[in-house]
Amino acid sequence: MNVRSALEYVPYFRGRLFVVHIAQELLAADELVDALLDVDALHEVGVRLVLVAEGHDTAALARRAGTCELHAAVAELPLSDGAASRERVREIVERRQVALVASGSIGRFDEGSVSLAVALGASKYICLWSGGVPYRSGQPIFAIRESDVESCSDCSYPEALHAAAAVCRRGIARVHMLNGTRRGVLLDELFSEEGVGTMVHTDSYRDVRPLLEEDIPELLSMIGRCVVDEKLVPRTYESIRDDLQSYYVYTLDDTIVGCVAIYPYPENACAELGCLFIKKNYEGHGYGRAMCRFVEKKARDMGFDWIFAISQSAVTYFRDRLHYAPLSRDVLPEARRTALEQSGRSSEVFGCRL
């Protein structure tokens, strides 16, 4: 886990309430201790927590919580008893203890547990189970928007995904499914942008948005190494500020992890895709492709016929991954061709029809 990234989440999580549902098969498992140590760490930074034991008994969960010296108290009535149980849980949470309660039924997304999360205004519903991360087309699903679950027919664990989406529709912004046998799974999931489990969400976890002037120092720092290595052309604060409307950033949980720019040439009915960059730790997840597709759509919406990119370090990416066609410099708008020739860079030109 990246400590710097983790620290950014602490003020965001402080004061929020998470409901953690623990599957029955984990209650007697040795790995539960690791999960409870993660819970203790969350509690220490100010997260309010409810731990729901699947079934009718909290005894095993309470024993493990005592072993971990967790500041916890048991709600004597199971959630299946309704309002009285929910009020007892609320009382425990408000006095800054971790509430332990039995669901009173079998199932990872049972009505009692979900109703409790909704009633308490939980920002997360977390399911700890012994299952793995759902896959689609051989790739793990780390995050999926609730509205996209319906079309996810080729996924593993489809029932769980649909149940998680239903929880989102009841007002819980984020539902996480985590393998509770994995050591450190809670902290690794919650304190990193990509996570290690599957998150079904309704809010803008992944987003492409315009660059703001306040983002410019971070952008310059982010691309600095590539500028030094001559993989990107140098840019200054002033040059970016003066052309601010051309720049966009890719964010995960409001953290900037990539950037791209679109430079229009209306007299040539085309646009340039430039300043494409994804932070090293986030490469290989399709974010670069998503940003390129975003720029292509922007250019199409502007009424342009084609788009081009100029690069000397990402030749194979544009040619083999995006399938942009190699082009002669002669097709470039005159001003852009002149600037490229004056730069002395041995960059190649790629483009595609829109």
Q: Which amino acid is at 239?
A: S
Q: Do 240 and 153 reside in the same domain of the chain?
A: no
- Per-residue exposure over 304-340, b if at least 16 CB sit within 10 Å of its own CB, e if not: bebbbbbbeebeebbeeebebeebeeeebbeebbeeb
Q: Which residue, 308, 309, 290, 296, is CA-closest to 354?
A: 296
Q: Do 126 and 31 reside in the same domain of the chain?
A: yes
pTM for this predicted structure: 0.66
For position 170, which CATH number holds? 3.40.1160.10
Q: In whole angstroms, what is the distance from residue 155 CA to residue 177 CA? A: 14
| Structural domain for 251, as ranges | 207-353
Q: Do 134 and 187 reside in the same domain of the chain?
A: yes
Element (H, E) at 337: helix 334-343
Q: How many CB atoms lie within 10 A of CB 287?
A: 19
3-state helix, strand, coil in the chain (%, to 5): 40, 25, 30
Sequential pLDDT tens for the chain (354 residues): 555 556 667 777 889 999 999 999 999 888 899 999 999 999 999 999 999 999 999 999 999 999 889 999 999 899 988 899 999 999 999 999 999 999 999 998 999 999 999 999 999 999 999 888 888 888 888 888 898 888 877 888 889 999 999 999 999 989 999 999 999 999 889 887 678 899 999 866 678 899 999 999 988 988 888 877 777 788 899 999 999 999 999 987 678 889 999 999 999 999 999 999 988 877 877 889 989 999 999 999 999 999 999 998 889 999 998 999 999 999 999 999 999 999 888 899 999 999
Select from 156, 185, 203 the last residue of a domain: 203
Select from 163, 187, 203 the last residue of a domain: 203
Q: Which amino acid is at 52?
A: V
Q: Do 76 and 189 reside in the same domain of the chain?
A: yes
Select from 188, 203, 218 the last residue of a domain: 203
Domain count, the chain: 2
Q: Do 106 and 255 reside in the same domain of the chain?
A: no
Q: Do 10 and 156 reside in the same domain of the chain?
A: yes
Q: Do 48 and 149 reside in the same domain of the chain?
A: yes
**Residue 158 to residues 124, 137, 154, 280, 291, Cα–Cα distance (Å):** 20, 13, 8, 32, 28
Residues 249-271 have pLDDT tens digits of: 998 767 888 999 999 999 999 99
Q: Do 184 and 216 reside in the same domain of the chain?
A: no
